[in-house]
C-alpha cells in the first residue's frame, strides 16, 4: 500500500499527460504532491523526508516548467531525486554509525556488517544508474516515451533491483539459519551424554547404597552366632 501511495502523484501525472499535455500534467503532479504530504501529516502527525524533498523539487522544477513553458525542467526531476538518494546513502557511510539501508532494515533481518555495506553500495550504484538512464531517455526520445518510462520504466527497474537484492540477502539468511541449526545439533549429543552420565552415576550410587545396606544387615546376624 505504501508503494501505491508513493506512486500516487506519478500515476496522476501519467493520466493527466495522456488526457491533456505535459503542462497540465505538471500542474497536476504539483497539486497531488502537496495533497500527498498533507494527507500523510494529518493521518500520522508527521512527514516523511522523502515526500518533503520530492515536493520541494516538484515545486521548483514544476514551477519553472509552467512559468517558462519549458518541459525540460520537469524531466530533470527523477534524476535529481535519484542522485540525491545516492549522495545520502554515500554520506551515511561517514555520518552516523550505520548506512541508511541498515538503519531501515536491521530490525527485520540480521546480517554481517560487510553485507550491509555491499547492499548500500549496490543501492548507490542503482540510484546513479537510474538518474543517467532517465536523462538518456528524456533527451534522446520524445516526451511521450519519457512519460511512459517515468512510470513503467523506473518502477520496473526498481522492482527488478529489489528482487535481485532479496535473492542476494536470502543467501546469507539461509547460511545464518544453517549455522544456528548446526550449533544446536552439536549441542544435542553433549546433552544426551550428560543425561546418560548422570543416569549411570545415579544407578551406581543406588547400587552402592544397596550393597551397604546388605552389609549392615549382615553384621547383626554374624554377631548373634557368637552368642
CA 104/CA 74 separation, integer angstroms: 29
Strand, helix or coil for residue 83: helix
pLDDT for position 203: 53
Q: What is the mean pLDDT of residues 71-87?
A: 95
Q: pTM value?
A: 0.74
Q: What is the mean pLDDT of residues 123-142?
A: 97
pLDDT tens sequence across 39-69: 999 998 898 888 898 999 999 999 999 999 9
pLDDT at 218 over 50: no
C-beta of residue 120 within 8 angstroms of C-beta of residue 100:
yes
pLDDT for position 170: 87
pLDDT for position 6: 81
pLDDT tens sequence across 179-197: 555 555 555 445 444 445 5
Amino acid at each position: 500500500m505504501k508503494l501505491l501511495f508513493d506512486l500516487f502523484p506519478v500515476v496522476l501525472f501519467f493520466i493527466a499527460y495522456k488526457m491533456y499535455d505535459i503542462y497540465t500534467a505538471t500542474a497536476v503532479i504539483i497539486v497531488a504532491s502537496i495533497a500527498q504530504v498533507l494527507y500523510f501529516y494529518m493521518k500520522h502527525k508527521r512527514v516523511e523526508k522523502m515526500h518533503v524533498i520530492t515536493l520541494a523539487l516538484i515545486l521548483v522544477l514544476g514551477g519553472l516548467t509552467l512559468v517558462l513553458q519549458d518541459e525540460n525542467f520537469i524531466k530533470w526531476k527523477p534524476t535529481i531525486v535519484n542522485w540525491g538518494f545516492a549522495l545520502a546513502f554515500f554520506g551515511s557511510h561517514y555520518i552516523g554509525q550505520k548506512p541508511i539501508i541498515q538503519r531501515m532494515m536491521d530490525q527485520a533481518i540480521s546480517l554481517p556488517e560487510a553485507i550491509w555495506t555491499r547492499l548500500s553500495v549496490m543501492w548507490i550504484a542503482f540510484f546513479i544508474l537510474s538518474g543517467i538512464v532517465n536523462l538518456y531517455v528524456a533527451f534522446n526520445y520524445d516526451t511521450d516515451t519519457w512519460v511512459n518510462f517515468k512510470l513503467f520504466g523506473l518502477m520496473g527497474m526498481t522492482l527488478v533491483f529489489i528482487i535481485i537484492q532479496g535473492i542476494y540477502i536470502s543467501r546469507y539468511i539461509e547460511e545464518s539459519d544453517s549455522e544456528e541449526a548446526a550449533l544446536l545439533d552439536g549441542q544435542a549429543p553433549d546433552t544426551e551424554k550428560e543425561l546418560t552420565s548422570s543416569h549411570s552415576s545415579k544407578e551406581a550410587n543406588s547400587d552402592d547404597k544397596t550393597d551397604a545396606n546388605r552389609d549392615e544387615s549382615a553384621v547383626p546376624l554374624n554377631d548373634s552366632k557368637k552368642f
